[in-house]
Structure 1
Amino acid sequence: MEEGRLPPVSCSLSPPPVSLARKVGAEFIGTLILIFAGTATAIVNQKTQGSETLIGLAASSGLAVMIVILSTGHISGAHLNPSITIAFAALKHFPWKHVPVYIAAQVLASLCAAFALKGLFDPVMGGGVTVPSGGNGQAFALEFIISFILMFVVTAVATDTRAVGELAGIAVGATVMLNILIAGETTGSINEPSQNIRASHSSK
């Protein structure tokens, strides 16, 4: 360092800690948006005779996840799912004592979204119900694989400090979209009328 020159001084202050109430509120709103958007698209798809298509359903859920993570991730972490909350706690990236509160917020948000959808779209028929159109074994295997892919991506981009945090929402949203494109038609995400008929017959 040259003589007479002082090192640069940063005057920026670290952001204040986020209260648990605010985190839970953000988790509630984020989960509500995700469940409402994804299920509403499936309901509209069925009511319009499949106009949304599988690509539309995948894009809707992927965009919802991306939007929620980018808007609430810095507040609550945007877990949006009890499995993510438990995984973060198991990896020591989230306190176990907050797990029950987060899960309660996620479940309550899902119920609120369900009742809102029923009030807006009643009768909802089978829209949004993930009834397998093929064999149960095939559906289970696909759900297992895509769940692994999602959990791998989420934990990779959200728990590793070397990952670019701002891109986590894009990565997770894209993964959700990819998973629906892979397994959506088989596990029931597309919910076209003809598919629901086949599923109802196969379940009897």
Structure 2
Amino acid sequence: MSSHGEEIEEEEQISRTEKGIGSRTEKGTGKNCHGGIETVICTSPSIVCLTQKLIAEMIGTYFVVFSGCGVVVVNVLYGGTVTFPGVCVTWGLIVMVMIYSTGHISGAHFNPAVTFTFAIFRRFPWYQVPLYIGAQLAGSLLGSLTLRLMFKVTPQAYFGTTPADSAVRALVAEIIISFLLMFVISGVSTDSRAVGELAGIAVGMTIMLNVFVAG
């Protein structure tokens, strides 16, 4: 009688152990999500699957383009009502807001250069790079399409940017501000000594400064 009870208790303990291992694996790595496939949305709230990351990346990029380019459109169509400082602040704010909104889901890259940099420094898996870039392109195209539908754009209207000086100087300026941006992003995102909660502010303010200096 005692032996049979011990066997039942041992089986229950093994069952609990197996469930605990499965739970830890799922929460810790996410690799067991739906049989090891990360391309579907997981039901567990503790797991962020690849599809969720791509959706967050697309939405974040959409609003960065919608707000950043949208403020330029408004400034051009309505006679400079926003002003150049307003354009700079808008770019910095929208990047900061989207980092805090989606950073915990997708990492808030919003830029193929950021995705490539993280992959090069082994902070991001290479197999996800083309997927992230695809999500970023989709978000930016949808943002541009939304602006196209919202505002009356005539053939004479041009909302792009052209170098104010020579192409060489513009290229040098672009290299400098791109290096500054990647330097800040790498510093606040890859070093464990950095204050992670301030990453959004640091990156957003860097974008604003870059637009002020060379935008």
* TM-score normalised by L of structure 1: 0.81
The corresponding residue for 1:195 is: none
**Farther-moved stretch of structure 1 (88-97 vs 132-141):** 132-141
Q: Which amino acid aligns with 1:132?
A: P
Structure with the larger RCO, 1 or 2 (CA within 8 Å, 6+ apart): 1
Distance in 1, matches of 2:75 and 2:100, equals: 26
Correspondence 1:20-99 to 2 at 5 A: 20-99=50-129
The corresponding residue for 2:208 is: 177
Distance in 1, matches of 2:203 and 2:152, equals: 31
**Residues 62-98 of structure 1: CA deviation (Å, up to 9, x unaligned):** 0000000001000000000001001001111100011
* DSSP-derived class of the 1:168 partner: helix
Percent identity of equivalent pairs: 47
* TM-score normalised by L of structure 2: 0.77
Distance in 1, matches of 2:117 and 2:47, equals: 23
Shift of 1:53: 1.5
Q: Which amino acid aligns with 2:158?
A: G
Shift of 1:122: 2.4
Distance in 2, matches of 1:177 and 1:64, equals: 10
Distance in 1, matches of 2:86 and 2:168, equals: 26
Shift of 1:17: 2.3
Q: Which amino acid aligns with 2:62?
A: L
The corresponding residue for 1:112 is: 142
The corresponding residue for 2:12 is: none
Shift of 1:119: 0.5
Shift of 1:133: 2.0
**Residues 153-192 of structure 1: CA deviation (Å, up to 9, x unaligned):** 00100111111111000000000000000011xxxxxxxx
For structure 1, list consecutive stretches of 5 or more residues without a partner in the other structure. 1-12, 185-204
The corresponding residue for 2:42 is: none
Shift of 1:112: 0.7
Distance in 1, matches of 2:152 and 2:174, equals: 28
**Residues 45-72 of structure 1: CA deviation (Å, up to 9, x unaligned):** 1112222122101100000000000010
The corresponding residue for 2:158 is: 126
Q: Which amino acid aligns with 2:75?
A: N
* DSSP-derived class of the 1:60 partner: helix
- Deviating 4+ runs (over 2 angstroms): none
Distance in 2, matches of 1:132 and 1:63, equals: 24
Q: Which amino acid aligns with 1:55?
A: P
How large is the RMSD of aligned CA atoms in angstroms? 1.3
* DSSP-derived class of the 1:23 partner: helix
Q: Which amino acid aligns with 1:25?
A: I
Q: Which amino acid aligns with 1:62?
A: G
